[in-house]
Structure 1
């Protein structure tokens, strides 16, 4: 069941991993198609927009705009100079008028003292005023004309700018971009989705179908065995009581026989609760109150009694191995009695009996002896007789 669970767990993990890989591959295919479709649509929009642009007309407008900006700049500079000159001329005119007022009063316009040669100075001042007025008239005319040029130039610039739909740097790169867009569009339209092949490979993978019937059957069997185990081990189980009551008489009979063969006078019986009841001459005793030799005899008798029950229920067992069973708790007579009992049983049941012991008393008790020596962690057969 554990192996089946581990196998199904691995298959489920593999199936989940394959599903994740498949979903990821599908997602990459869809994302690539969507990204490519979006880029193709954007390229077509850009190319359609380029086809609606009058490149030659836009270039002429940009050239015209540059010329207009230069002309407008020259006119604005000229207007600035005229206004500055108009300001200086007006200042000189006002100064001359003030001087003329003082000269007409025969006073020096600077120190306010009597001025001797006022006539000549008045004529010169009037000449300055006359020239300034004439100059101002000419300046006003020039300023008006220049302002008209500036206003017309600004209006023309605004009109040209409104007609320009593509900036100069974009217009310069338009032809190169158009070729690049067309090349990229053809490339995208001819491209094959690179994620289709991995997706096809994943879709072709055939995973072994998970069969839960066997594990369900094993799980059901385990549950039945657990239930059976409880029936056989719980003290209040009627099945356990029936089985024990059926085999306890045979167990107790064989146990008492072996105790007699081993020279133990105690009575040992098992109840249906599998507890040992030990008595001697009708007196109840605990197992712990027995001597080491008595406990050793009980243990040997109990082992062979259970062995007989097992054979009675199933099949005969033709081999028996005892590892240092005779070495603990038994005195010399006890070892002799146990050896005698074992030999009788071996002959009666034709057993292959192997006894491992360190006791010297049994050297001649059995038919064959094998001496084994442990040296440096290795066992070596030293002698057979």
Structure 2
């Protein structure tokens, strides 16, 4: 009966549910599945952050309602991080809001700034909340190329000239989930200039800012002079400090957009549990060697996975950032599409991955492989994949070709 509700009708069937159901069925049958699907960090939160949480929770005063926009110490810590990392000055009172993860912040900002009939520009493929946060808010979405280059900027120009009404905002996400692409400051300069000229908001998802593996260090859009006039950027503690279940993130930038988000949040929540906020501030202000350890861990896993897939005959690009490999489906399986291929990989190789269709229709020739298992388990996955690719597995999977399925 939920289909009767207007906003629910605008949400298609959840593509990932097909693979998740097959994975649950296999595990219920006692099969050992190597799960490289959900981007869920498997490493523990650094001990000094946990210790600060334990210390804070001992104080009964922290058990009361917190502040919806975040305690002052946490907002100051985020401003300090931006100053050190990006050379960007933020006013903790007017330009920072703590969120329950970046996903919640994006969704609530969508509620604050979007109305039915508005158009939002979103890369395709991209993380589902980037488009569906605005679809839930009643807006329409126009797809852009997912590459941080002239192709995206040209598509934005066409959208501005041919959309009625003119687009309200554009989403960018670099390092990208799922494609792992990185942007540079030259691209951001062009983006900011375009959006200031056409009065478009920039909503930047920078959740993977600290997950990079080479000399290209991901910048912030806010480093561009004048960017704050049109930009809000979302960051998260989840990947940087292995704190996914803590649900701690931030929005920073344009005071008008920050005020709008803070006002919506004031009606919806009292903020994260205060000890979590205290511990998050300790993470931002404390020793950062744990961040470099995190990078080394994912770099090692990336190298093992990419090298092993290539040796098995599956050519995949080595990502420069994020915790994902965006893998083109091998040519002989491409006709299946990503959902059927992911189900076939699960059934024959005992490895779970995310179908690219779940990130948009333009992702249908890829699967996303998350670096969320240790190297021993990744090598186990590679043995299964190698045997699968060496066998006669080019026939149809036990799945419906996803040309009939919707994206999620």
By relative contact order (CA 8 Å, sep 6+), the higher-ranking structure is: 2
TM-score, length of structure 1 as denominator length: 0.17
Q: Specify the structure having the higher radius of gyration (Cα).
A: 1
> Which has the larger share of helix?
1
TM-score, length of structure 2 as denominator length: 0.17
